[in-house]
Amino acid sequence: MALRTAILNTQSKSTSQDTRARRDSTEGPEELEEPRRRQLIEVTIDALSEVGYVGSTLAEIASRANVSPGLVAHYFGDKDGLLAAAFRTLAHRSMQTLRLRLGGARTSRARIQAVIDAYLAPAEFDRRTGTAWLAFWGAVLHVESLRRIQRIYQRRMLSNLRHALSCLVPPAEGRSLAAMIAAMIDGVWLRAALSGWREADSESARALLTAFVDNRLGQHRAPSEMAGDATARARSSTGADRTMLTTINPATGAVLARLRVDGPREIDAAVSHAQSAQAHWAALTGAERGRILRRVADGLRARNAELAELETRDTGKPIQETSVVDVLSGAECFEYYAGLAAGIAGEHLDLGPKAFGYTRREPLGVVAGIGAWNYPLQIACWKTAPALACGNAMIFKPAELTPLTAMKLQEVMREAGVPDGVFQVVQGFAETGRLLTRHPRIRKISLTGEVSTGQAVMSDAAASLKSLTLELGGKSPLIIFDDAAVDNAVAGAMLGNFYSAGEVCSNGTRVFVHRRIKAQFLARLKERTAALRIGDPRDPRTQVGALISEEHMNKVLGCIARGRAEGARLLVGGSRVTSGELASGYFVAPTVFDACRDEMSVVREEIFGPVMAVLEFEEEAEVVARANATEFGLAAAVFTRDLTRAHRVIARLQAGTCWINHYNVTPIELPFGGVKLSGLGRENGRAALEHYTQLKSVYVALSDIEAPY
């Protein structure tokens, strides 16, 4: 609203000399106005919001205030004077907010945020104030005095932005980026105003701008710098201290722990330690390794309550989830591979009477796992159990946002008898991850993370030609045919969108519903989604917890704002939840968009939050084509009672992991992973064994060599 700030401090041409004489630089217009003037200004704001600029005549104001038109003229001269005074009051309030926010901003990025937060503050979206502003915007082009002032003050807003940007980007970029931010602030506000405040509220507008600014500033930083800055913003107030990381409880903002970051020396030492430990570990029989891994499973089960609570505090996920999924899924994984360890084998090949061949499935050596923050312990287990069953040593780096439960896993391993050095946890930011991916003595990386991280890891791993398993992002389709059991399909869609507050890679976020049952589906979905219990993640009744960080919450709210701006219809949710104690955490209400189109950003981009996009379809061929029209290929599901159709459609879907009449169940026995940009390789099942071993082919001669020499 640069335009609207234009009139700040503007002296109405008709301001009485007496009043002017009493002004001094410390006073704002509101302090200066006599009670009668103030009353008339408030009446004018009311009139502007109700009858607009044209209708707000001196006579109208006089009649509303129950005074004579002469009295209004006495204070303000003419209509332009009256309106300028009213706008000066609105602008003064806006600038007070800005001053307060700038006063608390310690960094350049925070100063930019202060401008965004002030100009898109909730007060600016208040219907009365906002509509009055809108009337002013319309008048600026026709009233030269207002126009002049608007130009002056727009320059002032730009200079605030340029000044803050000058420390972050080159000067020329700073100027154009400042203009872009100002234009977006004005634009998003104007769209909200013109839609009668339906298209965006203050929160989603600010989130949209925040995501835009982060994205633009991100393009000016090196990848390693970006991760660091994001961390500093999201996790700690300690600025650029790259030697420590701070983990917080995203439900409360409370600091949980500060940990030392591992650098080149520590990584090198960990690799050397792992190398010597691995030689002994690999020399055990599979059965011996399996026996120890089985004890890890038992240890995890025995400590389920403690570990689930820690995971809940570190991730913000409800205890009703972590106590039945996160730890136990890890335990099942260790149990499964403990059972398979003794059976890891190559094959025998009959090569005729003079020879036979066989293959040996051998461990790779030292491998590294790099985890995402959504299922920290489960990811650590899914990577480590098969790696160890195959005789490798694992160095695991959890995400910087969730470093705690991997350390507990190390404890459980030690108690179970896993030899020292076979499983080690290192901590740090993306730089620590890169030390692993570039280390010449690490033979494999298994990453769970974003597509762009997978690409960076792949390129870093190329120099030492490491094997890779990449579990990356997705935007998976969930297709509901008209013969599906509607309540079951609603349950599947909710499970596939709102579990873990939507922070699940395989979520079915594109929900295609057949036209014939869509109304019925939406009605049930709305009812059941609105009834979800959002709250303290430690409360066993809570169904939806906090998102992982403030930065991530802002990204999710930005996506929601974009969805609204692109014309998706908000069915339920759509905003941050700040009631009571939730105000200090990062909670977003489960959100459903209807009337989505394939080209909308909420339909194309991974949001990784509780946001479902519902799309309508009619024909099977049509929905298959639309479901496949994405660069991702992690998961997919079909809901139908017609099993022939279910298998036919599944066979045509480009996805690594599929469900029929269910969603997001991931038994350890079934391989899990993606195609296209969603990843490489598989976790779980027997398939994972192939990714943690290398084949040695052996030819065994049974007769003398018939040499041609």
- Residues serving a catalytic function are 383, 471, 505, 683
With respect to ligand NDP, which residue has the nearer C-beta, 199 or 550?
550
Using CB under 6 A, pick the residue from 372, 422, 560, 688 that binds ligand NDP: 372
Q: Which residues pair with 469 in a beta bridge?
A: 446
Give the Cβ contact number of residue 572 at 10 Å.
Answer: 20
- By the 8 A CB rule, do 573 and 225 touch? no
With respect to ligand NDP, which residue has the nearer C-beta, 509 or 693?
509
Q: Site size for ligand NDP, by CB under 6 A?
A: 32
- By the 8 A CB rule, do 463 and 473 touch? no
Q: For residue 95, which of 33, 168, 7 has the smallest C-alpha distance?
A: 7
Q: Please report whether residue 262 would count as binding ligand NDP according to CB under 6 A.
A: no
Strand 576-577 relative to strand 587-588, pairing? antiparallel
With respect to ligand NDP, which residue has the nearer C-beta, 201 or 400?
400
Segment contacting ligand NDP by CB under 6 A, of 343-351, 471-479, 520-528, 685-693: 471-479
- What's the closest the beta carbon of residue 380 comes to ligand NDP, in angstroms? 11
With respect to ligand NDP, which residue has the nearer C-beta, 409 or 484?
409
- By the 8 A CB rule, do 127 and 197 touch? yes
- By the 8 A CB rule, do 299 and 416 touch? yes
Q: Please report whether residue 247 would count as binding ligand NDP according to CB under 6 A.
A: no
With respect to ligand NDP, which residue has the nearer C-beta, 371 or 573?
371
Per CB under 6 A, contacts with ligand NDP among 615-644 are 634
- What's the closest the beta carbon of residue 640 comes to ligand NDP, in angstroms? 26
- What's the closest the beta carbon of residue 424 comes to ligand NDP, in angstroms? 15
3-class SS of residue 707: coil
Q: Helix H segments across 506-604?
A: 515-530, 550-565, 601-604
Segment contacting ligand NDP by CB under 6 A, of 58-66, 297-305, 316-324, 468-476: 468-476
Using CB under 6 A, pick the residue from 12, 374, 497, 543 that binds ligand NDP: 374
Instruction: Tokens for 321, please give them.
Output: 């989830």
Q: Please report whether residue 468 would count as binding ligand NDP according to CB under 6 A.
A: no
- What's the closest the beta carbon of residue 322 comes to ligand NDP, in angstroms? 15
Give the per-residue SS3 of 145-189: HHHHHHHHHHHHHHHHHHHHHCCCCCHHHHHHHHHHHHHHHHHHH
- What's the closest the beta carbon of residue 394 comes to ligand NDP, in angstroms? 14
- What's the closest the beta carbon of residue 671 comes to ligand NDP, in angstroms? 12
CA distance 480 to 661: 9
Q: Which residue sits closest to ligand NDP, CB atoms considered?
A: 433
- By the 8 A CB rule, do 359 and 696 touch? yes
Using CB under 6 A, pick the residue from 77, 286, 363, 473 that binds ligand NDP: 473
3-class SS of residue 679: strand
Q: Please report whether residue 267 would count as binding ligand NDP according to CB under 6 A.
A: no
Using CB under 6 A, pick the residue from 85, 149, 217, 430 that binds ligand NDP: 430
Q: Please report whether residue 400 would count as binding ligand NDP according to CB under 6 A.
A: yes
With respect to ligand NDP, which residue has the nearer C-beta, 286 or 674?
674
Using CB under 6 A, pick the residue from 29, 81, 299, 449 that binds ligand NDP: 449
Amino acid at 586: Y
With respect to ligand NDP, which residue has the nearer C-beta, 132 or 370?
370
As a whole number of Å, the end-to-end CA separation of the chain is 90
Indicate if the alpha-carbon torsion angle 163, 164, 166, 167 is positive or negative: positive
- By the 8 A CB rule, do 1 and 186 touch? yes
Q: Which residues pair with 186 in a beta bridge?
A: none
- What's the closest the beta carbon of residue 439 comes to ligand NDP, in angstroms? 11
Per-residue binder mask for ligand NDP (CB under 6 A), 474-503, x = binder: x-----------------------------
CA distance 482 to 617: 10
Segment contacting ligand NDP by CB under 6 A, of 284-292, 305-313, 331-339, 394-402: 394-402
With respect to ligand NDP, which residue has the nearer C-beta, 413 or 445?
445
Segment contacting ligand NDP by CB under 6 A, of 104-112, 185-193, 261-269, 426-434: 426-434
Q: Please report whether residue 448 would count as binding ligand NDP according to CB under 6 A.
A: yes
Instruction: Tokens for 211, please give them.
Output: 């995501």
3-class SS of residue 668: coil
Using CB under 6 A, pick the residue from 112, 307, 457, 570 that binds ligand NDP: 457
Segment contacting ligand NDP by CB under 6 A, of 397-405, 480-488, 562-570, 583-591: 397-405
Per-residue binder mask for ligand NDP (CB under 6 A), 95-134, x = binder: ----------------------------------------
Q: Please report whether residue 371 would count as binding ligand NDP according to CB under 6 A.
A: yes
Q: Please report whether residue 399 would count as binding ligand NDP according to CB under 6 A.
A: yes
Q: For residue 132, which of 144, 121, 123 has the smallest C-alpha distance?
A: 123
3-class SS of residue 445: strand
Q: Which residues pair with 617 in a beta bridge?
A: 514
Range 662-667 contact pairs with CB under 8 angstroms and sequence separation of 24 or more? 662/492, 662/637, 663/478, 663/492, 663/493, 663/495, 663/496, 663/508, 663/637, 664/495, 664/496, 664/499, 664/504, 664/506, 664/507, 664/508, 664/635, 666/329, 666/506
Amino acid at 456: A
Q: Please report whether residue 442 would count as binding ligand NDP according to CB under 6 A.
A: no
Give the per-residue SS3 of 574-596: CCEECCHHHHHCCEECCEEEECC
With respect to ligand NDP, which residue has the nearer C-beta, 174 or 474?
474
- What's the closest the beta carbon of residue 225 comes to ligand NDP, in angstroms? 12
- What's the closest the beta carbon of residue 433 comes to ligand NDP, in angstroms? 2
- By the 8 A CB rule, do 444 and 367 touch? yes
3-class SS of residue 481: coil
- What's the closest the beta carbon of residue 507 comes to ligand NDP, in angstroms? 8
- What's the closest the beta carbon of residue 318 comes to ligand NDP, in angstroms? 18
Using CB under 6 A, pick the residue from 8, 84, 472, 479 that binds ligand NDP: 472
3-class SS of residue 303: coil
Q: Please report whether residue 211 would count as binding ligand NDP according to CB under 6 A.
A: no
With respect to ligand NDP, which residue has the nearer C-beta, 178 or 232?
232
Q: Please report whether residue 456 would count as binding ligand NDP according to CB under 6 A.
A: yes
- What's the closest the beta carbon of residue 105 comes to ligand NDP, in angstroms? 25
- By the 8 A CB rule, do 410 and 384 touch? no
C-alpha pair distances (Å), 442 with each of 259, 371, 437, 439: 24, 16, 8, 6
Q: What is the DSSP letter of 597?
A: -
Segment contacting ligand NDP by CB under 6 A, of 305-313, 412-420, 469-477, 644-652: 469-477
Per CB under 6 A, contacts with ligand NDP among 683-702 are none
- By the 8 A CB rule, do 430 and 401 touch? no
3-class SS of residue 333: helix
Q: Please report whether residue 251 would count as binding ligand NDP according to CB under 6 A.
A: no
With respect to ligand NDP, which residue has the nearer C-beta, 37 or 313?
313
CA distance 4 to 149: 10
Q: Please report whether residue 606 would count as binding ligand NDP according to CB under 6 A.
A: yes
C-alpha pair distances (Å), 409 with each of 298, 326, 598, 679: 12, 12, 42, 26
Rg of the chain over CA atoms, in angstroms?
31
Residues that bind ligand NDP (CB under 6 A): 223, 227, 370-374, 397, 399-400, 429-430, 433-434, 437, 447-450, 453, 456-457, 471-474, 505, 606, 608, 634, 674, 679
